[in-house]
């Protein structure tokens, strides 16, 4: 079976994931990559996004974890798995490492990696001090969602868990200094992505 290339971006808020996803998508546009963001990308995912991020509902941490994972499973089923099976490139703005970091590291919920969730071929962790990411969001005029409104201690635990995950899987997860200029970060992303893309054709 053909297997495309599955690339994910992770990091705390304002670390530049969406910026890097867009730059990479533009660079690889001739290959028409599938670009997705989490939670979202399907009708179920977008509805669950509203519930977990914007509804104001008080959620149990484990219930929240299952909602993120239900959205992910539907995204895999509808879009990611078929695209990879056709040999396409998939670029995801957050994936299961987010649940490990936020619900696992941040909330202390036990989170495992389901056997039916494929591991990305490569993951970029955009590493930035939490307060700098928040400053970027404030200067961009972005209002905080339910998770973003959590305490600085929560976000520091999330950042620490991301660092731990990167240390545990150095071959998959490339840690990048997200305080560097956008183009410098993109250049480092491309230096890892290009050989893998060349190997596809």
| Rounded-to-integer distance, Cα 145 and Cα 143, Å | 7
Interface mask toward ligand Z5A for 84-123; x: CB under 6 A: ----------x---xx--xx--------------------
CB of 105 to ligand Z5A, least distance (A): 10
CB of 109 to ligand Z5A, least distance (A): 10
CB of 90 to ligand Z5A, least distance (A): 15
Q: 21: closest CA among 5, 10, 30?
A: 10
Number of residues near ligand Z5A (by CB under 6 A): 27
Of the two residues 152 and 200, which places its CB atom closer to ligand Z5A in the complex?
A: 152
Of the two residues 74 and 137, which places its CB atom closer to ligand Z5A in the complex?
A: 137
Of the two residues 88 and 94, which places its CB atom closer to ligand Z5A in the complex?
A: 94
Angle at alpha carbon of residue 173, lines to 188 and 165, rounded to 5°: 140
| Rounded-to-integer distance, Cα 122 and Cα 179, Å | 21
Asked whether 89 and 30 are in contact (CB, 8 A), the reply is no
Angle at alpha carbon of residue 168, lines to 161 and 121, rounded to 5°: 100
Q: Is 18 a binder of ligand Z5A (CB under 6 A)?
A: yes
User: 154 is written with which tokens?
Assistant: 């929560």
**CA–CA distances in Å: residue 168 to residues 63, 128, 161, 171, 174:** 27, 19, 10, 9, 11
Backbone φ, ψ for residue 95 (5° rounding):
-155, -150
| Rounded-to-integer distance, Cα 156 and Cα 165, Å | 14
Of the two residues 46 and 200, which places its CB atom closer to ligand Z5A in the complex?
A: 46
Which residues in the 121-180 window bind ligand Z5A by CB under 6 A? 136-137, 140, 145, 147-148, 178
- From the list 16-24, 76-84, 117-125, 191-199, the region that binds ligand Z5A by CB under 6 A is 16-24
Q: Which residues bind ligand Z5A (CB under 6 A)?
A: 11, 13-19, 38-39, 53, 68, 94, 98-99, 102-103, 136-137, 140, 145, 147-148, 178, 181-182, 185
């Amino acid at each position: 079976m053909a297997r495309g290339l599955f690339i994910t971006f992770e990091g705390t808020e304002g670390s530049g994931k969406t910026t890097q996803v867009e730059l990479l998508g533009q660079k690889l546009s001739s290959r028409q990559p599938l670009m997705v963001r989490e939670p979202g990308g399907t009708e179920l995912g977008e509805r669950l996004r509203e519930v977990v991020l914007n509804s104001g509902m008080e959620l149990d941490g484990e219930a929240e974890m299952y909602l993120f994972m239900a959205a992910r499973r539907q995204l895999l089923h509808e879009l990611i798995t078929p695209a990879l099976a056709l040999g396409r490139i998939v670029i995801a703005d957050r994936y299961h490492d987010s649940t490990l970091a936020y619900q696992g590291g941040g909330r202390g919920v036990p989170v495992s990696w389901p056997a039916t969730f494929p591991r990305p071929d490569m993951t970029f962790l955009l590493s930035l001090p939490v307060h700098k990411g928040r400053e970027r969001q404030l200067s961009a005029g972005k209002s905080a969602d339910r998770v973003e409104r959590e305490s600085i201690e929560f976000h520091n635990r999330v950042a620490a868990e991301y660092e731990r995950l990167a240390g545990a899987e150095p071959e998959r997860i490339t840690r990048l200094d997200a305080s560097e200029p956008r183009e410098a970060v993109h250049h480092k992303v491309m230096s890892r992505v290009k050989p893998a893309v060349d190997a596809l054709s």
